[in-house]
Amino acid sequence: MSFFIEVDYSQYFKEGQSIGGDVFLLSKGEERDRIICTLSDGLGSGVKANVLANLTAHMAQKYAAGTTDMVKSAEIIMNTLPVCRERKISYSTFTILRMENLKSDKVRASIVEYDNPGFLLIRDGACLCPEKTRHELKRPGAFKDENLFHTELELEAGDRIIFFTDGITQAGLGTKQLPLGWRAGNVKRYILELLNNRRETSAYELASAVTAKARALDIYKAKDDITCASVYIRKPRRLIVSTGPPIDESRDEKLVKAIADFDGRKVIAGGTTAQIYSRITGKKLKVALSDCDGDLPPCASMEGVDLVTEGMLTLNRIAGHLEKRISLNELPRNSAGQFLKLLLESDQVRFLVGTKINDAHQDPSIPFEIGIRRSIIGRIVKALEENYLKETELEFI
């Protein structure tokens, strides 16, 4: 696959609510070449809104994954959703985005929108206005004309799609500075300026910058649920994680060559593995006492490798954090935190796992925390794929 499609979102709930009426869902098709994401905003906030938005988002997600036409699916969802008795408006709005990663260096995207602020398509630092097809719905009991907008796009490397709920466009509403709220035009200008300052901004960084700004405009007390989703099409960032010595010493050179020749960032997790690399390449290993929090062994530095850590304890901790879906802004300040940062900032992770067994780890007096390397790596791979939609490769040596 030639491109990596990075999708992420950031969200704040309305001040005082512990559950949100904005729901964002993300999934990958079975063949991993199709990505579907849905952002739904339920009427109001809190539990009722959450149930409605969840209902909508899950329906949308399932329909878009199937073979049904996107517009047809959206119509079915609309007809299923009730209309609020008092306000005569629909209970939830949505944006459904389906992307297909084609082999021919193109990503085909299809977007269906109902009543959310319009999505932004950004290419080469400018916001494009693709043509949208309008589909009018005629539901009995609706208070106003209801329109679905459908857009078909061909995306290129560097393209971004950003969509959000009205918590963003209406942020700051009623304040002296912004009596009418932030408004779509200003959101667009803010995003373009952000990207002009830093072209490589990740999908997550962009989404969280937008939500943070919206929350600030609401004077740090969100008046509505605030959600921004962001898609970034780009060349994949690659990372290799080497852990454990090869089963046979004769393969040491092969291991070192695999790490040295890798095009991307590099992590060695394991003392022995690092020593092998150091011995064969002649690069010096330096351990820093300052990185140690007493809970996990400290990390080390070595020329040509981005991070060197201890093996099993650190990996075990990482598996736990990934399973709990830790995010980039809550990383611990230790070797696991540095390791996680590299993992989360990569799109494709290759694990090179040595299969030699360390006799010392088999002693019954050693705590249980040191599991079997393969099973811990298995947990990490599963969490990276399922919770973060990363692409992984696993090789035993």
Q: Applying CB under 8 A, which residues contact another protein?
A: 271-272, 274-275, 285, 287-289, 292, 294-298, 300, 308, 310-313, 358-361, 363, 365-367, 369-370
Q: Which is nearer to another protein, 122 or 312 (CB)?
A: 312
Question: How many CB atoms neighbour CB 293 within 10 A?
Answer: 12
Handedness of CA 381, 28, 26, 343 (dihedral sign): positive
Smallest gap from Cβ 314 to another protein, in A, equals 9
Using alpha carbons only, give the angle 310, 336, 255 rounded to the nearest 5 degrees. 45
Q: Which is nearer to another protein, 248 or 393 (CB)?
A: 248
Smallest gap from Cβ 340 to another protein, in A, equals 19
Q: Which is nearer to another protein, 35 or 269 (CB)?
A: 269
Distances 287 to 59, 293, 334 between C-alpha atoms, Å:
52, 14, 13
Integer Cα distance of 25 and 209 in angstroms: 20
Smallest gap from Cβ 362 to another protein, in A, equals 9
Distances 279 to 130, 182, 272, 274, 377 between C-alpha atoms, Å:
57, 58, 10, 8, 25
Integer Cα distance of 186 and 209 in angstroms: 14
Q: Which is nearer to another protein, 79 or 362 (CB)?
A: 362
Report DSSP letters for 203-227, one per residue. Answer: HHHHHHHHHHHHHHHTTTS-SS-EE
Smallest gap from Cβ 354 to another protein, in A, equals 13
What pairs with residue 287 in β-bridges? 300
Q: Which is nearer to another protein, 120 or 268 (CB)?
A: 268
Q: Which is nearer to another protein, 120 or 269 (CB)?
A: 269
Smallest gap from Cβ 274 to another protein, in A, equals 6
Smallest gap from Cβ 364 to another protein, in A, equals 11
Smallest gap from Cβ 240 to another protein, in A, equals 19
Integer Cα distance of 166 and 226 in angstroms: 7
Smallest gap from Cβ 323 to another protein, in A, equals 21
Burial call 376-396: b when 16+ CB within 10 Å, e when fewer: bbebbbebbeeebbbbbeeee
Q: Which is nearer to another protein, 34 or 356 (CB)?
A: 356
Q: Which is nearer to another protein, 10 or 273 (CB)?
A: 273
Cβ–Cβ under 8 Å, residues 71 and 148 = yes
